[in-house]
Structure 1
Amino acid sequence: MVWGAFVQQQHAPAQGEEQQSQPGTQDPQSPAGPPTAAQTEALSRLFNSVKTLTAKEELLQTLRTHLILHVARTHGYSKVMTGDSCTRLAIKLMTSLALGRGAFLAWDTGFSDERHGDVVVVRPMRDHTLKEVAFYNRLFGVPSVFTPAIDTKASEKASIHRLMEAFMLRLQAQFPSTVSTVYRTSEKLVKAPRDSGAAGPQGPRCLLCMCTLDIDTADSATAFGAQTSHLSQMQPPTPPAETPTVPCCSAGVGRAQSCCQGAGPCGRKDPRGHVIEQLCYGCRVNMKDLPSLDPLPPYILAEAQLRSQRAWVSQEIQEYLIEDSDDEVHTSES
């Protein structure tokens, strides 16, 4: 597993701007060979610490997406094609609804996924069912490869993914139009714009799935606001007024801890709260099955620390910033 800086600041090229593609470029910090024994052990420790199979499958899918994006950016590719079929996307749609990811169905099941900015994920096989793909491979002698997964030989009720897959395939056997009906429903979903404006700044994104955060901290009546309020109540009390507050030190690459996790001046907030507050609702639910954040890849913890620093600095200098008046905004737009 490559422990590189997969989570990067998203950059969407402006209209009319051509993105340079250099397939031969290599990242000097990325290992060219197989993962080392220490990396394999760290990955095994991460998955062994997760309690449920559902959270393991979601975490595996997230890390696999990060790795694919890292390889695409390293080689200068702007498009990535996946082999998701119509049947798999129908199962994924129902599974995402059960996992609380309904706000991102258009991105997770659509033909193209542009949430990552510089790399677009496309699904050219989404119009074909698994049976059609199997018949094609059989008739034309296409070799197939089977790789055991973490849910291989698992029971039907071992995870939400397995349960929803068995449910959909059983319905498809009795009612052959089940998959096509669910698939046509996904085609009607409309993607929300990634940016608030053509040149405006992007909103906050989830630390893991890179989707726009579907939370509202001001609305305590929603489940998201209730979770945020619960986290804020668990935070330690703020330091006295005479104690100077300084931004947290960032955890270096390869270090899972920083001074924010100790008793130093930076330990003013629960380190788990730094990560949880930067996740969408679906990822927050999965993180409940991870008792400790230490097994997480260092690049995720470093990115969470960097975002917390930026938020702290922005809050500290907010009163010194000069905002444009309405007249100046209208003048600049005209």
Structure 2
Amino acid sequence: MCEVEDGDYVDLGKKEKRERLGRTCMKCKEGAAVLIIRVGDAFCKSCFKDYFVHKFRAMLGKNRVVYPGEKVLLAYSGGPSSSAMIQQVQEGLGRDTPKKLRFVPGILFIDEGAACGQSWEQREQNVSEMQQVLRKTNFPFHIVPLEQVFSLPRSVLQSALPVNPKRAENYKQAVDRFLGQQRAHREDELSGTADGLAQLRVTGYEGGNVSGYSRPPTQLTSALTDMLRSARTLTAKLELLQSLRSHLILHVARTCGYSKVMSGESCTRLAVRLLANISLGRGAFLPLDTGFSDDRYGDVVIVRPMREYSLKEISFYNRLFNVQTVFIPTMETKAPENSSIQHLSESFITKLQADFPSTVSTVYRTSEKLNISRTEFAEENVHQERCLLCMCNLDTGVGEAASAFCATQVSQHLSQKSLRNNAVATSDPDQQCCNRGECYERSPSCSSSVPRTQDFMPLLCYSCRVTVKDVTSLSALPPYVMQEAEHRSRRVEMRREIQEFLLDEGC
């Protein structure tokens, strides 16, 4: 009886498979289906392209974050998602495209070969291949080595007000004004009073202006390698790498005048990030890390227009329409599943998605419901205390209500006090005071340029504190981070000294 049931089950599975192979498109009802996105969603090639393009432009049109004429920096990694995003922007900026995109794009690629231990010859080969791909877009692009973060100014860690703050209700007026400017340019072009370059500048096609890329100084490469080597776990290395990458993107956007940055994370990637960030203690910042827009920097807003696409949809689109991608190894390439929290979360989501196809969409829809309770971005919000690494508002000022956090703080304080007492009892008080971290109290002139751990930690959010605990030496961090930490520590010390002369905030 059991054998008969097993045979019937196998025959039924084969029958369902044959039915799927012979299905027609659910939209046009005529063409043969070339793929099935979800159960019952079969598309032919033409209808799938219309579906893919419509979802991208509908995402931008629904949120109304990118205004006409704005300069938008496209963060490109060479992977499937960012490659599909650039393809959508290219098609959306066409002259005869319906629901045309109206911003001015540029592309940024960050060379992270030094972080992966690649030789300069390998990095040159990757950059050369990347340049060949980016030249075909006819967009201005920038290729920047990751080592450049060690020469960034301290101002990159300071939030700023939007250059031209615009409200959502003025979006239609902005579109009408932009269309009027386009008509005026077109009339001038037809009458011979303006050349074609004016129209090209409006649509963003100025040609591929390639920024020079040369080998970074050896000392910067060594500094990056030492910083990653000082992190004891791959989880900490990936978190540091993410923070440094964000700082570099922000610096390039501010320097080149871009007010928006488009990132190509898919909903699969965001679902993985949601679980990983919860595990890393970043639950308070999930709306910023996984939402459509991230305005933590003020003058530069991160936009994620690919967040509605699953990795399956993106892979099929790139395969069907020959979208070129560039594979570049990362720190997680060929790493074991349990090598980091991020990699373990990705493995968990991927395996669960294989057996339960609605896993990614369920996790992703959960992230959509999250929001941060905050007032509108105003001048007083710019001066709020922010984390030195992720630049989010500090989530550690919770008072005594959070018993777990307070207990951790008390435990750390007692441990440091015990270690300090033991060091004082076993060492010469006239030597090596800087190594004990007591030189500032004993002699300010003997103070080291590297902030003490107890002064540096309060400047970080909870998640970044966990990351920095796995870093063996604070001096390995980039100079601009340490300079900003020293600046803030001095301001706190100065405020403490003059506190009795200040008026209360309620006065």
Q: What band does the TM-score fall into relative to the shorter chain?
A: 0.7 to 0.9
Separation in 1 of the partners of 2:367 and 2:249? 24
Q: Equivalent residue of 1:121, what SS?
A: strand
Matched ranges for 1:80-91 at <5 A: 80-91=261-272
Is residue 385 of structure 2 the alignment partner of residue 188 of structure 1? no
Separation in 2 of the partners of 1:60 and 1:261? 31
Match of 2:226 among 45, 51, 56: 45
More helix by share: 2
Q: Equivalent residue of 1:47, what SS?
A: helix
Corresponding residue of 1:104: 285
Q: Equivalent residue of 2:357, what SS?
A: coil
Conserved in 2, the CA contact under 8 Å of 1:195 and 1:201?
no
Unaligned runs of 5+ residues in structure 2 are 1-146, 168-203, 205-211, 422-436
- After superposition, give the CA deviation of every residue in 1:218-255 in whole Å (9 maximum; x if it has no partner): 42853433343345443669xxxxxxxxxxxxxxxxxx
Corresponding residue of 1:11: 160
Conserved in 2, the CA contact under 8 Å of 1:92 and 1:109?
yes
Conserved in 2, the CA contact under 8 Å of 1:115 and 1:194?
no
Q: Equivalent residue of 2:337, what SS?
A: coil
Conserved in 2, the CA contact under 8 Å of 1:194 and 1:202?
no
Separation in 1 of the partners of 2:452 and 2:325? 45
Is residue 358 of structure 2 the alignment partner of residue 177 of structure 1? yes
Match of 2:497 among 316, 319, 334: 316
Q: Which amino acid aligns with 2:357?
A: P
Identify if the C-alpha distance between structure 1 residues 195 and 117 changes in structure 2 by more than 3 Å, giving closer, same or farther: same
Conserved in 1, the CA contact under 8 Å of 2:298 and 2:377?
no
Separation in 2 of the partners of 1:134 and 1:293? 41
Conserved in 2, the CA contact under 8 Å of 1:104 and 1:211?
yes
Conserved in 2, the CA contact under 8 Å of 1:195 and 1:202?
no
Identify if the C-alpha distance between structure 1 residues 304 and 45 changes in structure 2 by more than 3 Å, giving closer, same or farther: same
Q: How many residues are matched?
A: 295
Separation in 1 of the partners of 2:377 and 2:292? 22
Match of 2:319 among 138, 154, 164: 138
Q: Equivalent residue of 2:222, what SS?
A: helix
Using the TM superposition, give the Cα deviation of residue 130 of structure 1 relative to its aligned residue in structure 2, in angstroms. 0.6
Corresponding residue of 1:168: 349
Conserved in 2, the CA contact under 8 Å of 1:217 and 1:228?
no
Query: Which of these two proteins has the greater Rg computed from alpha carbons?
Result: 2
Conserved in 2, the CA contact under 8 Å of 1:214 and 1:281?
yes
Conserved in 1, the CA contact under 8 Å of 2:287 and 2:367?
yes
Identity %: 49
Separation in 1 of the partners of 2:396 and 2:375? 16
Separation in 1 of the partners of 2:501 and 2:163? 30
Matched ranges for 1:1-334 at <5 A: 1-2=147-148, 3-5=151-153, 7-13=156-162, 33-193=214-374, 199=380, 202-216=383-397, 218-219=399-400, 222-233=403-414, 234=416, 264-265=443-444, 267=447, 271-323=452-504
Separation in 2 of the partners of 1:143 and 1:81? 19
Q: Which amino acid aligns with 2:484?
A: E
Using the TM superposition, give the Cα deviation of residue 5 of structure 1 relative to its aligned residue in structure 2, in angstroms. 1.7
Using the TM superposition, give the Cα deviation of residue 308 of structure 1 relative to its aligned residue in structure 2, in angstroms. 0.6
Separation in 2 of the partners of 1:42 and 1:200? 34
Identify if the C-alpha distance between structure 1 residues 61 and 50 changes in structure 2 by more than 3 Å, giving closer, same or farther: same
Corresponding residue of 2:32: none
Separation in 2 of the partners of 1:311 and 1:17? 35
Using the TM superposition, give the Cα deviation of residue 214 of structure 1 relative to its aligned residue in structure 2, in angstroms. 1.0
Q: Which amino acid aligns with 1:277?
A: P
- After superposition, give the CA deviation of every residue in 1:48-72 in whole Å (9 maximum; x if it has no partner): 1111111111111111111111111
Separation in 1 of the partners of 2:473 and 2:268? 35
TM-score by length of 1: 0.80
Out of 189-198 and 176-185, give the one that drifted further.
189-198
- After superposition, give the CA deviation of every residue in 1:261-288 in whole Å (9 maximum; x if it has no partner): 8974264997112211111111111111
Identify if the C-alpha distance between structure 1 residues 309 and 36 changes in structure 2 by more than 3 Å, giving closer, same or farther: same
Separation in 2 of the partners of 1:308 and 1:14? 29
Conserved in 2, the CA contact under 8 Å of 1:95 and 1:161?
yes
Q: Which amino acid aligns with 1:265?
A: P
Separation in 2 of the partners of 1:124 and 1:200? 26
TM-score by length of 2: 0.54
Q: Equivalent residue of 1:173, what SS?
A: helix
Identify if the C-alpha distance between structure 1 residues 14 and 121 changes in structure 2 by more than 3 Å, giving closer, same or farther: closer
Using the TM superposition, give the Cα deviation of residue 216 of structure 1 relative to its aligned residue in structure 2, in angstroms. 3.0
Identify if the C-alpha distance between structure 1 residues 208 and 319 changes in structure 2 by more than 3 Å, giving closer, same or farther: same
